[in-house]
Each structure stands twice: as C-alpha cells, then as structure tokens.
Chains A and B, each alone.
Chain A
Amino acid sequence: MSEKKSISTHVKSTSGVDVSHCYQCGKCTAGCVQAERMDYPPQYIMRLLQTGSEENYEKVLRSRSIWVCLNCENCYERCPQSIDIPHVMDMLREESLKRGIAHKDASKIIAFHRSFLSQIKNTGRLWEVGMEAEYKLRTMDLMQDVKLVPSMLSKGKLSILPEVIVDKAAVKKIFDRTVGVEKEK
C-alpha cells in the first residue's frame, strides 16, 4: 500500500471520514471561530491529510490547531461535502497523544483533560474542586482563578467533598478497557 493510501485509510478507519471528499472550498475555515488561533486552518488540515505523506501527517499531529478546535461543529454543519471535521480532530488529538507529540501550547488543555478524566475515573463524577486542584498541580499555574474561589464558594458553586457513585468499579472498568492505564507524561 502506498504511503498516501495508508494514511487516508488510517484516518478513515479511525474516524470514519474520507478526507478525499474535501474539495478545498474553505467554508469550514470561513466560519471557524478559532481559525485565527490555529497554525493551520481546518481546510489546510484536510489538505495536509489528503497529501498522505507521513511528514504532513506528523505536521498535523504536532499542530496547535487540533488542540484549539472547540468542536463547535460549525464546519461540519456547513460543509457542502458533509465532512465531519470535528470528529477528525478528535481522532487526531487521540493519535497525537498516543505518539506523545502534542503541541507545547496544548499542555494546559491536555492537563485539563487529564485532570478532568482522572476525577471521573476515581469517583464516577466530576468533582470540580478536585479537578481544579489537580489541574493546578499539573500546570503549576497555582494562581489561576484563585480570585474566583471565595465567590464561587459563597454562591454555592463548589462542593467541598466529591460525590461518589455507588458502582465506582463500573466506571473504573470502563477506563481500564478503553484508555487502559493512563500513561503519565
């Protein structure tokens, strides 16, 4: 199998999206609220994937774009070829993490996702205080949102203790069988 074929087949089998459908009209980029913060706008990502070169694939996996994408679904909704770009972005993030080549600007976002998921893994639900604490440790950005804490507490928006579900094991099992034992970075 040629390199081009193998990469587009990989994208297709993991995301179900056939990037060859993209005819580069740019409608996705035109309506993207994050395009100005991306190193490659969405239609450019599609083009890089279309070339099928391993080099370009890695460019995409190392890009900032895939991490600033908000999955707002505007691009998919308006795409004349109905290409599910947000879904491709999900797949690219997963792959980027797997290869350990995520963009440095993504570290906060990744730290957020990891803190978020580790909370769920442990209690079955999101405990925001715990997540925030873990996130601060991961990013060492201890001051972020500190000013918010007193008012959040007074408005009853933070719970001091986590809610734990009864069947914690069920959720733990889901994590074990999907992401496996999480690799720390």
Chain B
Amino acid sequence: MSKIGVFVCHCGENIGGTVDCEKVAQEAAKIPGVEVSTDYKYMCSDPGQTIIKNAIKEKGLDGVVVAACSPRMHESTFRAACSEACLNPYMCEIANIREHCSWVHEKGEATTQKALDLVRMQVEKVKKDLPLSTIKVPVTKKALVIGGGIAGIQAALDIANAGHKVILVEKEPSIGGHMAQLSETFPTLDCSQCILTPRMVEVAQHPNITLYTYAEVEGLEGFIGNFKARIRLKARSVDLEKCTGCGMCTTKCPTKKVPSEFNALMGLRTAIYVPSPQSVPNKPTIDKEHCVYYKTGKCKLCEKVCPTGAITFDAPDEIITEEVGAVVVCTGFDVAPTSEFSEYGYGRYKDVITGLQFERLASASGPTMGEIRRPSDGTVPKKIVFVACAGSRDAAKGRPYCSKICCMYTAKHAMLYQHKVHDGESYVFYMDIRAGGKNYDEFVRRAIEDDGVNYIRGRVARVYERDGKLIVKGVDTLLGGEQVEIEADMVVLATAGVANKGAEDLAQKLHISYDKYNFFAEAHPKLKPVETNTAGIFLAGACQSPKDIPDTVAAASGAAVKVAALFSKDQLLREPVVAVVNRMAPPVFSTCVGCSLCVDICPYSAITMENIKDRGGNVIKTVASINPGLCQGCGTCVAFCRSKSIDLQGFSNEEMYSSVMAALHE
C-alpha cells in the first residue's frame, strides 16, 4: 500500500482566493493511500518545503503530490525538496490547480471540486510512478563554426580562446565574408579590411582552430554534446601544403575575364585565383567552371609554371567526419541583385549598381583602387543618386521587412562619395532614416550637415537611361508630393539584405528552423536570441536577420559564451522523460516484434534496430532501440507501436490510464 503525501498550496490569494484549499486537503486525505494531506499559504517557500521534507521523513512517504502552480514554474523546486528528503524526485507530481483551475474559474464549490479532481488524478498517477534517474550524456568539447565571415571569425576566436577546439568551415576559398569586401565602416569610417585582416590571420594561426576553406557541411547527425558533422572539402586543385602562394599560376592563367565575386562582379579575375590580396589562406583555387583545362582537356599552364608542383587537377572532393559537441551557424547574408528591379531597368543599366558594388568601388583594394568610377565608361560620376529601401519594406517584392543596415551604409556611401568627389552632387531618396545605435544618428546628420548630401524623402518610381544619363523619377513628399527628376551619372540601390542562397538547404541539413525569408529562427526573439530550437546549435550574425557589424560581433560572442558554458561540464544531465522499448528475460527478450515502423516516424531519428545475439553471435531477435540522448520524449512512437512495446518514462501508459480513470471516477 502506498504512502502518499498531498500538499495543497494557497499561493497567497492566487489559489486560496478561489479554491477552498483547506477543504481540498481534507478531502484528499480520504483518498486511499494518502498518508498525509495538508495545506499551506506558500508551499514553495522555505517553511513550505520543510513541511514536505519533514512529512517524507517522518511518515516514510513513497510519493508526493503538490497541488500548486504550473509544473513549469516549480516542479523542479519540489522535486529537489523530495530529493533532499531522500525520495526519488520523479516520485513527486504536481497538480496544477492555479493555471488550470483558480485562474480560470470563478470562486465556488465546483472550482474546489475541480481542484480536488486534479489532485486525485495525480495521486493515482504517483501510485504507478517508478523511480527514475537523470540521463547523463558526455560532451565532446569541440565546436563546429559554419561560415567564416566576421560572425564566424569572432565566434571561433572566442571559443578557441576559452580553451576549446574549433572547426571553422567556410564555403569560399577565403574567410572574411562580406566584411572583407567593405570599404570603410560606419559610424567611425575606419577601414574594414584594416580591422578585419588581423583577425583573419589570427584564425589561421590559432592552435585551437582547424580551418577548412572551400568546404561545406554536408550533413549533421547526433544531438547536443554529441554531433557528427560530414564536411565536404571541395577539390581546389591546389595542394595547400606544397603551394607557397608565389602567384606564378595566377599571372600565367590564360582565362582572365571571369567576373570577380570578391569585387561583386565588377572586376575580373583569372580561372585560378586568390579572391583578394588579403585572403586567408592566401593560396589559389581553380574555378572549374571557367578553367580551360576542365572545359577542353587542354592547357595546364598553371601546372607547368608552378615551381612546387602544387597543382592537382585530378584530386577529388574529400568528405571528412568531425565529432563536435556544439555548432554555431554564421552563414551570413546576401544582397538582392539589381536585376530584381523592373522599374530600375531589370539590371540592364551598368551604372545602376548595388550598395555592395559601391563598397568595392570605394575600397582601395577594389577594381578602381578606391576611385568612384562608372562601370559603363570609367568616368567619375558628377551626380549620384542613392535609393534606400530598394527591395526592403516592399511587400510587393515579397520583403516587407526592414534590412536594417541600409540607412547607415547609404549615409556612409554618400559621405565617402563627397569625400572622394569634391565637386560631385549626391542625393539620397529615403522613406525613413533608421539610425538607432550608438553615434548612428549623429553620423547621418554629419552626412547631411557637413558633407552636403541632399536627402529627399520619397521613393523613386523609375530609372531610365537617356543619352548616357540615368533619369531618376522621384518625389519629395515633404513638399506635399512634388515630383523630382534627377539626371544622374550613377544610381546606387541600397538593395535588401536577403538570406543566402543555400540557407534553406543548410537549415534542413542541420534540423533548425527558418522563417519564410529563409533567415534562421532563434529559439526566443528576446530571451534566446543566439539559440536555435535544436539544443546545441547556435546562431550568430546576418544569417538570422540583416545585422550590422557591431550587432553581428555581439551575437557571435554571445553564441561563443553559450558554447563555452556547454563545454564547462564533462557531462550533460537530461530529464529521463524518454521513450523506452521494453526488455525482458529470455526467451522473450521484448514484446517488440521488430516491425521498425517507429524508426521512420521518429521526428528526431532517435530509433534504430538492434540485433539481440546469442553467445555464438547469431541473431536471435531484432528489436527497436531508442537513443536516450536523441529522444525528446514526444511520444509519437508510443502511439504508433502496434505491439505496445514502447513506453514513455514518467508518462507511461499505466500512469496515464490511472490518472484518466481517476478523473472519470465519481
């Protein structure tokens, strides 16, 4: 016979004001198996917990029901109290008579009756409860950082500096990301590369960081603390060990007219190339799509001139597997292309460019060595128009969101233009100026007040070309809607920040959620901004939503701290609420018939088939086996199992039946 204690909490007036707690306690005392039943003003307080602990010790209780608030609130409190009194914590159940009763009903007899019913259900459940122990999972103290832009660089360095190993995977031939492409950065106008390149070098040299460039994550299996990542090292056709980075190959390569991705397609590069002089690693890669040898089978000029024999035409892609305990996703963003803008010429006008392209024009390492020149004819534009919100806040183009960074970079662009072209005129068409941030608004005012940038509030309806000029049809809404026509030499669209092309695919490989614009979703918009819904996988930077550099770096450091906290323990403790396949003595072994239906329906891929073998190694029976590390306790397999061989610990069929029967009992 059970010895169960019932402890009814008033929660001040929260429960006591509506439910007759004293009566609930008195009535509960009459339930068979209840040894002690009492009520108290605040059961979660120290004296309240002492009542429970003392009762367990004095009466030798083997089960406890606390009738109080939601288990999300204090289940752990009361279970800890039981544990202290030497009662298995999983023999403590909570009857939620606050959220499920007193808060949602009027005061009255029926409400008190319902509270009692809830108590009765938990009493019957606790009778069937079995003692459980927490599951211990080992932690692999090595992190995988996906993406080598500023977010990935920061996260990798922070984790590595905390003393943990890091694998950094970058899909391009060099790390650096978009920040390496930028000219100067707002609101201080310090040179982007000057502040970034030391960190890129630090990554390459850090003893705790293994860098894989020109590599992509192919798949991820496992669970928090115990992931297995498959990484494809794309064949770059250059042996990085042998290559000295002398540059002979790139000077001799006959294919010289490939649009340079690093220069946002404005400059040209060779087929064997290093993206930029600051690249890390500063060693070339062969672009197979454009290389003459890969296209025609002839050439191999680079191989002939390479003094160290580093060219490896026939090397295949390599797939490696890395075991890691945590993942930080830092895959960044992209900008919408000008071809998306029908009203601005469908990308047909060479002098209508994106903000990223302007960055390359303004950058000392860019195709014009930092001089602002028109892509069409190389002349310096004397009149330039910047169009903010190009594709952002534009529901018709499928992007109602604000890209956040454009107001600031547009102010910077106009400012840089005025600094470089003293007799030039610049115009910014904007809807709102969103300059929330330290020294941000001051920066925009500086562009307007000190550098004479003409800000016009209104959107541009269309841009067309006539006699080498770009006619910009805009409006000044602050003048009540006066039309403005500007004959510009160049138009810069502050095109929207969008998710990377491969974002959706990667999210599916990693089993993390993403929004309808393919930005990765955080676990909670306020309180868990760098976590995903998948434990052990974190986010940082613009892969989550458009972010500027300070926000990106802050998020990256935040994610790194989460990883470091995870790695601070040798083992992870998990609640034992997981599904188990029953096992019994031979010759039955289990009622599981090995149909394997559960394997396919498990949303967490936690179930595999296991062979039970005799001493001779012969398979006697094949049964399902559930990995407690992966199982999230959803119960889908329990419902699906035809032979009723699976049960959810803490919520077994027997426990739930007893509870339901108690509710139905008059």
Contacts and interface: CB of A to CB of B under 8 A. Distances in A.
Interface of A: 23-32, 35-36, 40-44, 74, 78-82
Contacts of A29: 458, 461, 475, 477, 481, 483
Contacts of A35: 481, 483
Contacts, number: 76
Interface in B448-464: 457-462
18 contacts: A25-B477, A26-B457, A26-B474, A26-B476, A26-B477, A26-B481, A27-B475, A29-B475, A30-B461, A31-B461, A31-B462, A36-B483, A43-B477, A44-B480, A78-B343, A80-B389, A80-B397, A82-B395
A25 B429 CA distance: 10
What range describes how many residues of B lie at the interface?
A: 20 to 34
B396 A79 contact: yes
A27 B459 contact: yes
Nearest to A76: B396
Interface string B459-491: 111100000000001111100110110000000
B431 interface: yes
Given A30-B483, A44-B481, A25 B458 contact: yes
B199 interface: no
B477 A74 contact: no
Among B396, B431, B476, B481, find the residue whose CB has the most chain A CB atoms closer than 10 A: B481
B460 A30 contact: yes
A26 B458 contact: yes
Nearest to B484: A30
B460 A81 contact: no
Contact of A41 (B393, B459, B462, B480): B480
Nearest to A42: B481
A80 B459 contact: yes
B261 interface: no
Interface in B289-346: 343
B431 A78 contact: no
Among B396, B476, B484, find the residue whose CB has the most chain A CB atoms closer than 10 A: B396
B480 A80 contact: no
B84 interface: no
B515 interface: no
A78 to B, nearest CB: 6
B394 interface: yes
Given A35-B481, A41-B480, A78-B461, A30 B473 contact: yes
The 7 closest A-B pairs by CB, nearest first: A31-B461, A41-B481, A30-B461, A30-B475, A26-B458, A27-B459, A80-B394
Given A26-B459, A80-B459, A81-B395, 8 more contacts: A26-B457, A26-B481, A30-B460, A30-B462, A35-B481, A40-B481, A43-B475, A80-B395
Nearest to B461: A31
Nearest to B474: A30
